[in-house]
Structure 1
Amino acid sequence: MKCDVYLNFDGNCEEALDFYKNVFDGAYEVVMRYSDGPPEYIVKGNEDKIMHATLSIGNDCEIKASDNFHMPVHKGNAYHVSILTDDDEQGADFFKGLSEDGEVTMPYNDVFWGGKFGSLIDQFGVQWMISSPH
C-alpha cells in the first residue's frame, strides 16, 4: 500500500510545483494539461493549466496536484503535508526553501520528543511539517 499527497490549486499549480521541484530537487514524472484530455474536461481559457501532475521527491515520495476549476478551492487548516527528512541539514534546507514568502508557524528547531521539527504555511497556502530524526 502507498499513500500520496494530492494538492488542488486554483490556477497556479504549475508555479507551485516548480517551486516544490526546486525546494526538494524533485523531478516531474507526469504533466498533463487540460488540453491533453477529452474536450469535456477543458475549461475555456485554461487549456494550458495542469489537469494532473506528479512530482517525485526523494526515494519514495510523490506530490500529485492539479488546477481545479470544477469546484472552488478552499484553503484550510485541516491538514499538513508531513516530510520526514534523512537528516537535520536536509530538514533545515527544506524548511528554509518552503518558508520563502510563507509564514512560519513553528520554527525548525530541537523538540522535546527528539530530533528537529518545524511547521509553516507556504506562499501557496499549503501547510507543511518538516521533521528530522533524533
Structure 2
Amino acid sequence: MQAQTYLHFNGNCEEAMTFYADVLGGEITQQMTFSDAPESSLTFPEEVMDLIMHSTLVAGDLVIMASDYLNQKEEFNSGNNFAVSINSFDEDEAVTVFNGLSEGGIIFMPFEEAFWGGKFGMLRDKYGVQWMVSLLDESHA
C-alpha cells in the first residue's frame, strides 16, 4: 500500500505543481484542464475551463496529485488540514527540499536535529501547503 497526497489549489495549481517539480527534481506526468474533459462529462462553468482538473507529479517514489478547487457547496480553504511528509536518507537532498519549499513561505520548525534521530523541519510554503521534511537516520531503514 502507498500513500499519495492530493492537493487542491485556488486557481494556481499549474504554477504550484511546476514549482514542486522543480524543487523535488520530478516531472509532471499528467495534466489536464477542465476544458480537456469529454463533452459527455459534467458541465463546468466557463470561468474554470483553463484551470487544472487533474495533475500528477512524480519525483522518484513520491507521487503528488492535485487540481484547482471546484466545489460549489464549500469554499476553498488553503492547506490547513494536512501536511505532505517527505522522508529522505540523504542530508543534501533533505536540506535542498526543505530550503526550496520554504522560499516565500513560513518555517514553523527549522530543519534541525530531532530527538528521535535524524533531522526534522516543518513549514508552510508560499501556496499555503504544509510540509514536514525528515532526514532519517539508519535505524529507520
1:73 counterpart SS class: coil
Deviation at 1:38? Answer: 3.4
Alpha-carbon distance in 2 for matches of 1:78, 1:72: 14
Alpha-carbon distance in 2 for matches of 1:127, 1:73: 16
Partner of 1:9: 9
Indicate whether 1:64 and 2:65 are aligned: yes
- Decide which of 7, 31, 44 is 2:46's aligned counterpart: 44
2:98 counterpart SS class: helix
TM-score by length of 2: 0.88
Alpha-carbon distance in 2 for matches of 1:50, 1:43: 13
User: What RMSD, in angstroms, separates the aligned Cα atoms of the two structures?
Assistant: 1.3
Kindly provide the CA deviation profile for residues 11-62 of structure 1, in whole angstroms up to 9, marking residues without a partner as x.
000011011011001111111110110343432122121000100012x210
1:3 counterpart SS class: coil
- Residues 29, 61 of structure 1: alpha-carbon distance in 2 compared, 3 angstrom cutoff: same
Letter in 2 for 1:130: V
Equivalent runs, 1:47-126 vs 2, <5 Å: 47-58=49-60, 60-70=61-71, 71-126=74-129
Partner of 2:133: 130
Letter in 2 for 1:104: I
1:45 counterpart SS class: helix
What 5-or-longer segments of structure 2 have no aligned partner? none
What 5-or-longer segments of structure 1 have no aligned partner? none
- Pick the structure with greater CA Rg: 2
TM-score by length of 1: 0.93
